[in-house]
Amino acid sequence: MSIARKKMDQLAEATQAVFDRADEEDRDLSRRERAAVEENLTRIKGLRARLAAEEQVRELGIGIGAAEVATDPNAQLGGAPGDAFV
Distance from the first to the final alpha carbon of the chain: 28
Q: Does residue 79 belong to any structural domain of this protein?
A: no
List pLDDT tens digits, range 6-33: 999 999 999 999 999 999 999 999 999 9
Would you say residue 5 has pLDDT above 60? Answer: yes
Report angle CA 78, 83, 86 to the nearest 5 degrees: 150
Residue 82 placed within a domain: no
54's CB contacts (< 8 A; 6+ apart) are 2, 4, 71
pLDDT at 22: 97
Number of domains in the chain: 1
- Model-level pTM? 0.66
Q: Does 30 fall in a domain? A: yes
57 inside domain: yes
pLDDT in tens, 49-75: 999 998 898 888 887 876 655 555 666
The torsion angle over the Cα atoms of residues 47, 53, 58 and 60, rounded to 10 degrees, is 170
Domain assignment of residue 85, yes or no: no
Give the largest CA-CA distance in the chain: 64
Domain of residue 49, residue span: 3-73
Residue 84 lies in a domain: no
